[in-house]
Each structure stands twice: as C-alpha cells, then as structure tokens.
Amino acid sequence: MPSWKLVSGLCITFFGSLVALVGVGYAMVGVPDENTAAKSQNNVYYWADGKQMVATGTGVNRQNVGIAEIPEAMQYSVISAENKSFYSDPGVDFKGIARALVNMAQGGETQGGSTITQQFVKNTYLSQDQTLTRKFKEMFISVKVGTKFTKPEILQGYLNTSYFGRGAYGIQAAAQTYYGVDAKDLTPSQCAVLAALLKGATYYDPAGNPDIDIAASKEANFKRSHERWAWILEEMHKDKHLTDAQYQEAIKKYPMPQGRKATKGMTGQISYLADTAKKYVLAHSNITEARFDQGGYQIYTTFQKDKVNSLSAAVQKVQKERLDPKNREKDKNVQFGAASVVPNDGAIVALYGGAGYENNHFTNNADTSGVPVGSTWKPFVLAAAMEYGTYKTSPDGVSPLSKYNGNDNLKVQRPDGTYYLNKDNSIFRQRNESDHAWGYISLRKAMEQSINTPFVQLGVDVGLTHVRDMAHASGILTDSMLQGLNPSFAIGTSTPSAIRMADAYATFAASGKHVDPYSVTEVKQDGQELTGFAKPKASTAMSANVANNVTDVLQNVIQNGTGQNAKALGRTAAGKTGTTDSNKSAWFVGYTQQLATSVAMFRENPKDAELLSMNGTAGVASIHGGDIPTSVWTEYMKAALKGKNDPGFPEATKIGEIADEAGAPSPTPTPSITPSETPSETPSATPSETATSPSPSATESCQFAWNCSSDGGTDTGSTGGTTSSPTATETTGEGDTRGNANGGGNLFGGSTG
C-alpha cells in the first residue's frame, strides 16, 4: 500500500502541474482584436479549363462602429435573447465548456460557447475548427477578455464581428444589408429581427435560404424569424429593457427586411454557378458558411464557359422569338431552369438559373424544387417494369410491347382487384389530356404519345415503391418525391431539380450506370488542397439492357412522338416531354451519349412563388414540353455538340415478356426472331390495321423488328374495333397530368392527378 505521504505528494504534484499548465496557457494566449477578424481574402471560382470565373467581393462586408453608435435596443436584444446574465457573469460558462470538452472527447457533436464573451472570442478566430486545443484557447482567452475589457467593449466587439447572413459581418453591415440604414438608426423592432439572425442566418432570413432553395424556404424562414422576433421583444419587455409603450409599438408590425441584392461580379449566370458550387463545397466539407464567406478559398468547378453561354443564349433566343411580356399578360413571370450533365461522369457542365441576381431573381431555377416534372417521369416507370416486372410477372421483366388500355377516364385497379377511391369514396378515374379512344396500345406507343392511363396502371402493377426506388437509384433525391405514394406518382407529381433530372437521364445514356452530379473538382486554401472533393463513384442503377431499352423507346418519342421538334438536332438522341396539371410547368429532358440536358419552363407569382397556369402563354392555348422547352434544348444541344461525332447508342436487345393488361385482346402470334433481323421481317398486320395505318417508315423508328410494334397509327380498341390515328392537333399535345374527372374530391389532391 502506498503511504499517505506518497499519495499526498502525487496529488500536490498533479494539481500543482495543472495550475501551472493553466497559468502557462493563460499567459501564452493573446487577447483578440475585433479588427483582426475583418482581414479576409476573396473566394475565387475557376472554370473547368482553369481560367478564373469570378472573385467574390473585395473582402468581408464589415465596418466597425463604436458602442455609442449601436442602439441600446440592439444591445439588449442580444442580451435578452442569448445571455441575460451578461453584465454579471465572469464571461465564461464553465459548465458549458466542460460539457463541450467531454462531448468532443467522446466523439459526440461539438458545442459552442454560450456567453456573449465566448462567442466574441470565437468570432475572432479565422479557424472555426472544433478541436480540444481550440476549445482550451477559447476558454483561456475568454477569461482574459473578461478581466481586461469592460462589458460594453466586449458587447461592441461581439456585435462588430458576428455574422448576420447575406455576407454581412457586424451590425453596421447588417443594418445596411437588411434595412438600408446605419446601425444607429435601427428601430427596436428591426433590432429584434437582426438579433434573431444570430441564431442561424440561413434559417432566420425571411428572404429564404439560398443554400437550400430560396423559394421553398421563404415561408419556413419567415415563420421562424417572425416567431423569434416576437419572442425577443417579449423577453426585452420582461427584462425591463422596453417600456410598455415601446413594446406595444415594436410588436405592432413585423419589419420586413429588404430583398437580396447582387454583389460585385455576381451577375448573369455567374451568380447561379457560384451559388451551386458554394452549396457543393459546404455539403462536402466541415466549412461553415460564415467561415466560407470570410474568403481565402480557390474553387475549381466543372462548368464549361462555352456551354454555359450557349445554354443562356438558347433560352434568350427562344424567349425573344416566342414570348412578348410587354404586350401579353400571360407571358409575364415566365421562368426557365436548365442543366447539362455528362453521362458516365456526373460533371455539371452548364446550367441556367434565371435572369440573374441583378434582376432581383435570386432563386436558382436549375437547382430548385417545387416544379412538377410531369410525363418526364414515365421512363422511370417503364424502367422499373422492365427491371422488376409486375405482380403478375415477377421476377420476369415486362416488355415495352405489352399493351395497356390507353383510353381516357379509366378506373385504376389495385392488385387485389379493388379500385382507388377519391376522398368522397367515388371511384378515382385517371384522365388523359384528350378523350381520344386509343384502345389497348403498347407501352412503347403510350410513351411516344405521352398517354397517362397506361403508365398509371403500370405503376400500380409494378409497385409504386419499385418506381420510387428506380428513380432514386437513377439520381432523384428522395425528398423531392411525393411521400404518400398514389397512382398519380407514376405520371410526375414529384418535383426534382433540373440538375437531378439531367443526371437521372444521364443514367439511361450511360447504360444504367449512375454518378451523382458534381460541380466542384478541387478546393484549395493557402495553396493546400482540401479533402472531400474526389469525383463521385459510379453505381449500377439498373441493368444495361433495361437502360438501353428505355433509350430505344425514348428515341422513338423524338422520331415519331411528342418530342419531334428535337429531330432538328440532326443526330441520334433520346428524350421525353412533360406537361403538368393546369399547364403550370412544361419539361423536356433529352440526351445523347455525350450529354444529358433538362429544360423546365413555368410561370410563378413573384409574390409567393406559387405556380401559375401557362394557358395562353406565347399566344397559344397551352404550352407543352414538346414545344418551347424542346426548342431551347435543341438550340443548346446544337451548339454544345457542334463538331462532335455522333456515336449513337448501344444496341438494345429483346427484354422481358409481353404482359398485356387484363382485358386486352389476344395478341397476334409473332414468330420467334432474333434482334438482328430487320423491320421488314415483322409479321404483317391484320387487314383492319393495314387499311388504316401508315407505312412503318412513316410512323416507327426503332432498331430492331422485335421492338417495332404494329400500333404505329392505330390500335385495336377495347370494343374490338379500330381507331384511326389522332389528328395533328391531338398528337402535338401530351396526355400528361390532369385532375379528377369528377372535379374536386380527388383522393390525390387534384393538382396533377
């Protein structure tokens, strides 16, 4: 047993060493200077070829002000909200620091200091690394700051170094950025709004969060800001920092800040390119937005200047030719979003985000959610059918020659034989865009003419979870998909971004190989390359032959269907059109082996970003994906692929079994042939088909006889008769998404049913 002398000696030595260590640490750390935090560098963005794109700003947007120039209401708003004991505490929350140290030592989430003094100390560190060393330094400095500076000096330093969002550091920059006034002129109500931003500017800025989606986050951000603004004013009143009269005046009306403004150099498409790259950097590193905005980073992107310019030029050309907002009310507030991705790689080479920050358009339309994709979703349904089969055929896949009822106003049947019902318990009936009697047609033909009813029933037969899984594996984010799956899910109620749609179609172009889209290849700081920006790895989303068969079907959409305007590209291409309920959005997504591009068109109310109908836009009854969006796509792809070869697509071979929907007429026997046989060897049509359908060369464009159905212009209807090919006006439209025939009471909301 050790003697008491030994134990006492060890304890004295340990505590003596600890005291000495604390003393040395305390002596070695320096007291922060609020002016040091203003030192910063630009963030420099580079094009894919290494040439400079833009240097954001000329330093941090900050101007120090004295405590006398900061209204008492601003001072007490942060004290009441964050550190009520500020004027009486020692400046350090030792319990909070102990919790943070233990948590970090155990590998848990990091925690910051809770006092205003500690936050001031943290603000002055250019490094925001959450390490034990930095935490100890913060503690020592906070103690020293608490003994060396007065409380007003500490509060002044805190308010001069805090980040308020929108690139504004310090209360003076925040006052100008949000309200266009000097700090000394802020009202108590405005002070409470700015104090709320200190909890997290990206979540409390009522203008929305640009790092997520400005349009989609406006409502949530405003609600958070309004609630915290009211709470802060109430706390100030309870703490006797506002009189009854001052409180009643301040709480009377929420002082809405002014909108965002473009910063130097961030104009045109540059603003959206930098926005996309910044979001990528923040998502793939531990760099905070506040630290990123202090600058010093070199960001090397995937964006190709010539393609970005070509995409912007294509949008502007088609806008000029087709839209006249000065003379047509329905041409106002029309928006475009587009993105271009390299198959088998994932690199985003171009995007179109909108009219530019300088025109007060801060939402990046290429990376926004909220715009339903309509029938551009149908290829995922077909891919799932070929990959998984239906409940009748599983595990065998389904051939695209399988026939489903294409008539309008059809009941949708569950596998158990029951029908889907509306909220009023009436039977749900799926609508097409027109009431044309298509009868039973192949899935290939239904894709060609973008008919809803076959794909809604097919989606249910395959299993909507399988459709969702296929879309996700192809690159669509789960949170952009309809969460409560219903039949309309199969025809595009989901709202992925243009970037994600281009990336998902790139999966078809790459024979089933998916690579996540990326916009940054390298990030450097002080000449050192940061980790986390390696090129994303490829994964298998579907078998190669499934993808190649989807491509074959989508080639036919361009050759004979709703995407015929894309034939002007003059090279092998595949794609799909999409139009949504009430004509609120129109899409075209298409690809070659070298490039996949999506184009979205929509109208929105500038006040609340609500989608508006495009009926009457461009002087036509309705806008379809095969119209203006396809024209933009074709114009861009011509320029982007100029001088490039035309490699075509890999061959598609016969896939799945023909599994007609129940009720379809018995199929005509087909001889067994190999995929290499020519279309001329396809069995002859029945007399009734021969009498009404055009020659195959006029209606079909497919690589193999097995995939050239005889329903190019006519199909046997459910009554056993024949139906003629629809008129030209009928085929230019798409049977995309429409509401319930009964009007109202739709189980699926009626938005795109």
Residue 279's pLDDT is 95
Nearest-angstrom CA–CA distance, 676 and 583: 42
Mean pLDDT, range 574-601, rounded to an integer: 96
Q: How confident is the model at residue 725 (pLDDT cuts 50, 70, 90)?
A: very low
31 vs 503, more confident: 503
Nearest-angstrom CA–CA distance, 62 and 163: 10
Q: How confident is the model at residue 577 (pLDDT cuts 50, 70, 90)?
A: very high
54 vs 61, more confident: 54
* DSSP secondary structure string for all residues of 263-275: PTT--TTHHHHHH
Model pTM score: 0.72
State yes or no: pLDDT of 412 exceeds 90: yes
Residue 730's pLDDT is 30
Q: What does the block give as tokens for 488?
A: 């309309």
Residue 210's pLDDT is 65
Instruction: Establish whether the linkage from the previous residue to 395 is cis, with ω within 30° of 0.
Output: yes
Percent of the chain with pLDDT over 70: 76
Considering the domain boundaries, does residue 289 fall inside one?
no
Residue 1's pLDDT is 65
Considering the domain boundaries, does residue 302 fall inside one?
no
Neighbours of 525 (CB within 10 A): 14
Number of domains in the chain: 1
Percent of the chain with pLDDT over 90: 61
Considering the domain boundaries, does residue 386 fall inside one?
yes
Residue showing tokens 């109620």: 493
Q: How confident is the model at residue 21 (pLDDT cuts 50, 70, 90)?
A: very low
Residue 746's pLDDT is 33
Residue 101's pLDDT is 55
pLDDT digits 0-9 by tens, 116-129: 888 888 877 644 45
State yes or no: pLDDT of 704 exceeds 60: no
The SS3 of residue 64 is coil
* DSSP secondary structure string for all residues of 595-645: -EEEEEEEEE-TTT--EE--TTGGGSS---TTTHHHHHHHHHHHHHTTT--
Query: Which residues lie below 8 Å from residue 377, measured CB to CB, with a gap of 6+?
Result: 471, 490, 491, 492, 494, 578
State yes or no: pLDDT of 711 exceeds 80: no
pLDDT digits 0-9 by tens, 509-539: 999 999 999 999 999 987 789 999 999 999 9
State yes or no: pLDDT of 702 exceeds 50: no
Mean pLDDT, range 98-113, rounded to an integer: 52
State yes or no: pLDDT of 23 exceeds 70: no
60 vs 462, more confident: 462
Residue 91's pLDDT is 78
State yes or no: pLDDT of 152 exceeds 60: yes
Considering the domain boundaries, does residue 172 fall inside one?
no
Mean pLDDT, range 613-623, rounded to an integer: 95
Residue 735's pLDDT is 42
pLDDT digits 0-9 by tens, 310-349: 999 999 999 999 999 999 999 999 999 999 999 999 999 9
Nearest-angstrom CA–CA distance, 413 and 739: 18
Residue 716's pLDDT is 34
State yes or no: pLDDT of 97 exceeds 70: no
Range of weakest confidence among 261-265, 370-374, 473-477, 591-595: 261-265
Residue 125's pLDDT is 60
Bridge partners, residue 586, by sequence: 579, 601
Query: Which residues lie below 8 Å from residue 73, measured CB to CB, with a gap of 6+?
Result: 186, 187, 188, 191, 192, 236, 241, 242
Average pLDDT of the chain is: 82
Bridge partners, residue 334, by sequence: 603
Q: Provide the CA 128 distance to its chain's centre, in angstroms.
A: 28
State yes or no: pLDDT of 241 exceeds 90: yes
pLDDT digits 0-9 by tens, 429-440: 999 989 999 999
Range of weakest confidence among 110-119, 179-188, 274-283: 110-119
Instruction: Look up residue 337 and give its DSSP letter.
Output: E
Residue showing tokens 């155990």: 106
Considering the domain boundaries, does residue 458 fall inside one?
yes
pLDDT digits 0-9 by tens, 190-232: 999 999 999 988 889 998 876 666 666 788 899 999 999 999 9
What are the CA-CA distances from residue 122 to residues 110, 112, 242, 294, 300 (Å)? 14, 8, 29, 14, 29
Considering the domain boundaries, does residue 435 fall inside one?
yes
The three state secondary structure string of 443-491 is HHHHHHCCCHHHHHHHHHHHCHHHHHHHHHHHCCCHHHCCCCCCHHHHH
Element (H, E) at 739: none
Considering the domain boundaries, does residue 163 fall inside one?
no
- Domain extent, residue 711, equals 374-563+650-732
132 vs 409, more confident: 409
308 vs 161, more confident: 308
Mean pLDDT, range 637-661, rounded to an integer: 95
Nearest to 750 by CA among 412, 429, 490, 454: 429
What are the CA-CA distances from residue 482 to residues 172, 221, 625 (Å)? 44, 22, 21
Residue 697's pLDDT is 32
Residue 733's pLDDT is 37
Nearest-angstrom CA–CA distance, 211 and 337: 17
Residue 419's pLDDT is 96
Q: How confident is the model at residue 486 (pLDDT cuts 50, 70, 90)?
A: very high
Residue 99's pLDDT is 60
Considering the domain boundaries, does residue 581 fall inside one?
no
Using an 8 Å Cβ cutoff, are 601 and 374 in contact?
no
Bridge partners, residue 575, by sequence: 590
Q: Exposure string (b/e) for 251-264, b if CB count within 10 Å is 16 or more?
A: beeebebeebebbe
Nearest-angstrom CA–CA distance, 313 and 734: 27
Q: How confident is the model at residue 88 (pLDDT cuts 50, 70, 90)?
A: confident
Bridge partners, residue 336, by sequence: 601
Start-to-end CA distance of the chain, whole Å, equals 82
Residue 518 sits in a domain whose CATH number is: 3.40.710.10
pLDDT digits 0-9 by tens, 540-549: 999 999 999 9
Q: How confident is the model at residue 14 (pLDDT cuts 50, 70, 90)?
A: low
